[in-house]
Amino acid sequence: MPAFVNYATLKRSAFTPSHISVCRTTTANGRLSRLIYRRSRLRHAVSMSDKGERQSRGRSDTEQATDDQIRDEEPEDTFVLEDAYLVEDDMLNDSDDDDRRIIWNKLPSPRALFKTSYITDLVIVFAIVAIVYGLVQTTGRLFSSAPYSALTIETSLNVLPWYAAQSLTRMAAGYVVSLIFSLIYAYIAYRVKFAARLLMLVIDVLQSIPLLSFLPGVVLGLIAIFPGARVGVELAAVLLLFTSMAWNMLLGFYQSLSCIPHDLQDVSNTFRLSPWKRFWVLELPAGAIGLVWNSIISVAGGWFFLISIESFELGNRDFKLPGIGSYLAVAAETSNYTAIFAGLLTIVAIIVVIDFVLWRPLITWSTKFTYGSTPDENKPRSVVLNALQKSPLFRRLHSSVVAPAWEDFVNLNIRNPITGELIATDEAKKAKWARDTIATKEIPYVEENGGGFEIPLWRFFTQVFSSASEVVSGVAGRALPVLVFTALSVGIGYGVFQAGQLVNALPLESWISIGTAAAATFGRVLAALGLSLLWTVPAGVAIGRNAKLSATVQPIVQIAASVPATALFPFLLLFLARLGGGLEIGSVALMMLGTMWYVLFNVIAGAQAIPSELFDVDSVYNKEGVVKRWRKLILPGIFPYLITGIVTAVGGAWNASIVSEYVVFQGGVLKTDGLGALISEAAAGGDYALLLAGTVVMSLLVLVTNKFVWGPLYRLAETKYRM
C-alpha cells in the first residue's frame, strides 16, 4: 500500500478541508507527489518508496539536478495529507533512510492538520438537537387530527416566532416533496426518450396553471378526505407550495441531464455502470450545481406565494393558517406598517440563517462537480462546511458510518446488521442460490469445471423458466405503458368533457373579456421579462465568475428574492401614488420582483459551470476584448441555463399576475385589467366556470410560446451549446 493517498482519493472526500488542494501529483520520474497546505503555505517533495529512491540514484545527472532544484527552491515545505493515509508501518521501521525519517518526523500531526475545538462539536450537536426538537414539535401540531376552524390571526410581535416556525415547517415539507418529485420525474423524462415529449408537455401545462387555479380541487378535495380536520388544510398548503417550487427545479435538472458531455457518457458505458450507479456517480453530480441554485430560487418562489397560500378565500369560505404569510396578509389589509416591517424583518432573519447554515455550504460543496478545475480564488467558501470538515466528531462519523453506508447504497450492497457481511450483492445471491440448490437437489460441486456447479438434470427446467420469465417480462414491459396511457387518456377525456360542459355556460361577453385581459397580461409579461434580462445576465455572470463578489452579493440577492413581494406592495403603492403611477405600473414591478430571480440564479449557475480552462484559453488567444469573449464564450456557455431561467421566469410571471393585478389593500380591492385579476376575482367569488376558462387560456398561451419559441431554443442548447 503506498504511503500517500492520490489526488482522486483526496478530492473525492466530502470532509477534506477546503484549504488543502493539489499542487502537483507526480514529477517527471513518476515518484514524487505533493499537496499544498494553504494555511502555512508549506510544500515538500518526498520519495514515495525505496524502489523509487533506488531508481532515482541510477538516473542521469540532468534528471537528478532537476529534482534537486525543486527541493532547493522550496526548502521549508512540508508534505501533508489526510490522517488516515499518512504513513505505512514499514516506512517507520526503515532504519536505512535517516533523511526520510527526519523529513517524516517534521510532518504535522493529524490533530495539528485539522485543528478544531471540541466546543464546535458541542455547538453542532446542540444545534441539530434543537432543530429536530423544534421540527417534531411544530410538525406534531400542524398535522394533527384536531378540528379546523377559521382562526383569528394576531399581529402582535410575540406570536411571530411561533408563526415563523409553522411557515418554515410548511416550506421544508414542500421543498422535500418538490425535490424528490423533480429528481424522479426529470430522470424518467431524460432516460425514456419516447415519453420525454409527453412528460415535458405535462410539466409545461402544470407550470402554466396559476396557483389559484389549483385551490378549488386541492383544498376541497383534501377537506373532503379529512373532513373538519386541520391536517387537510395543512396538506393543501404543502401541495400548493409544491406547485410553486417544483417546476423550476425539475426543468433545471432535466436541462443538466440533457447537457452531460458525451465523453462522460462514453466512460460510464465503458465501465458498464448500472442505471442506478450511473445516476449517483454521473447524472446527479452533473446536475448538482444547477439543482442547488434552482433550489434557492424555488424556495424564494415559495416565500413569494406564501401569503396567497396561508391566507385565501374560496367562494364564501375564508381560510387562514397560522404563519408568517397570513400574518403579513392581515397586516397589509389593516395597514399595520409596524407589523409588516416586523414580519419582513423576521423573514429576512430566517433567510440569512438558512443561507449561512444550508445554502452557502451546499454551493461550496457543489463546486467539486464542475467539469473543469476551478481556481482557488474563484472557489466559494463556507464557514459551516469548513467547521464540519475539520470537526473530529463528524470526520469520525463520516469515515466510519457515512462513507461506508454511501458506498453500499450506491453499489446496492446490503449488509448483515450483526456481522457486517454483504448479503445482497450479485455474487452473494449466486452463492446463496448455489448453496440452496446443493442442499435441496444434491448437485455435486465439480472442481475440474473451474469451480462451477454441474446441473445436468435441472438445466432444461431452468432454461424453460428463464425463457418464460423473459417472455412475461417483455409482454408486461410492452403492455404496461399501453395500459397507463389508456387510463390517462380516459381520465383526461372525462375531465375535458366535464370542463367543456362547465365552460359552455359562459356567455360571449365573458370570452371577449378573457381575450382582452390575456392580451394585457401578455404585454406586462414581455415587459417584465425584457427589463429583467437587461440586468440579470451581466450581474449573474459577474457573480458566478467571482467568488468574493458571490460571497458578498449572493446572500443579499437571496434575501431580496425570498421576501414576499406582495408584502411590499403597500409601500410600493404609496410610492407610485406620489409619482402619479397606478397599478398598471405596479403590476409590472411586482412581476419583475417575482420572476427576475429565476433568470439571475440560473445565469449564476451557468457561469459557474463554465470550465476555467476556457477562460484561460480566451485570455491567451482573444485579442478583440470583452465583446468577443461574451459572444464566443460566455453567452454560449450560459445559454442552456439562460433558456431554463427564461422559461421558468415566463411561467412565474404568468403566475405572479394573479397577485400583481389584484391586490387587497386597506380593506379594499385594487385591480387592473388582466388575466391574473380575472382569475383572482373568479376564485374569490366562487365563479368556477370563469376561473376554468381563464386558466385554460393562460395555459394555452404558455404552451404555444413553449412550443414555437422556447422548444427550439431548448433543442439548440442541447446540441450546439453542449459542453
Distance in angstroms (rounded) separating the CA atoms of residues 514 and 208: 16
Contacts of 564 (CB under 8 A, 6+ apart): 303, 304, 305, 306, 307, 325, 328, 347
Q: What are the tens digits of pLDDT across the range 139-189? A: 666 655 555 655 678 888 888 888 888 889 889 999 999 999 999 999 988
Distance in angstroms (rounded) separating the CA atoms of residues 147 and 144: 9
Residue 511 has a pLDDT of 86
Q: What mean pLDDT is predicted for residues 365-389?
A: 74
Contacts of 400 (CB under 8 A, 6+ apart): none
Residue 384 has a pLDDT of 84
Tell me the C-alpha to C-alpha distance, in Å, between residue 675 and each of 203, 281, 501, 523, 582.
21, 45, 22, 11, 17
Least confident of 98-112, 323-337, 584-598: 98-112
pLDDT band at residue 699 using 50, 70 and 90 as cut-offs: confident
Mean pLDDT of the chain: 71
Q: What are the tens digits of pLDDT across the range 679-694? A: 888 877 777 788 888 8
Residue 364 has a pLDDT of 86
Distance in angstroms (rounded) separating the CA atoms of residues 203 and 641: 18
Burial 527-565 (b: 16+ CB within 10 A, else e): bbbeebbeebbebbbebbbebeebbeebbebbbbbbbbb
Residue that the C-alpha cell 535517516 belongs to:
98
- CA 136, 137, 141, 144 torsion: positive or negative? positive
Least confident of 287-296, 330-339, 662-671: 662-671
If one counts every other C-beta atom within 10 angstroms of the C-beta of residue 654, the result is 28
Residue 471 has a pLDDT of 55
Instruction: With a cut of 80, say whether residue 624 has pLDDT above it.
Output: no
Structural domains for the chain:
7-112 (no CATH), 118-383 (1.10.3720.10), 413-459 (no CATH), 516-719 (1.10.3720.10)
Residue 534 has a pLDDT of 92
From the list 663, 509, 650, the residue with the least C-alpha distance to 584 is 663
Q: Decide if 215 contacts 222 (C-beta within 8 A).
A: no
Instruction: With a cut of 80, say whether residue 4 has pLDDT above it.
Output: no
Instruction: With a cut of 70, say whether residue 470 has pLDDT above it.
Output: no
Least confident of 38-42, 103-107, 194-198: 38-42
Instruction: With a cut of 80, say whether residue 601 has pLDDT above it.
Output: yes
Q: Decide if 34 contacts 397 (C-beta within 8 A).
A: no
Here the cell at position 407 is: 458506498
Q: What are the tens digits of pLDDT across the range 45-80? A: 333 334 444 444 454 555 455 444 444 444 333 333
Q: Decide if 237 contacts 321 (C-beta within 8 A).
A: yes
pLDDT band at residue 10 using 50, 70 and 90 as cut-offs: very low
pLDDT higher for 243 or 5?
A: 243
Instruction: With a cut of 70, say whether residue 89 has pLDDT above it.
Output: no
Residue 77 has a pLDDT of 34
Q: What are the tens digits of pLDDT across the range 242-287? A: 988 888 889 889 888 888 888 888 888 888 888 888 889 889 998 8
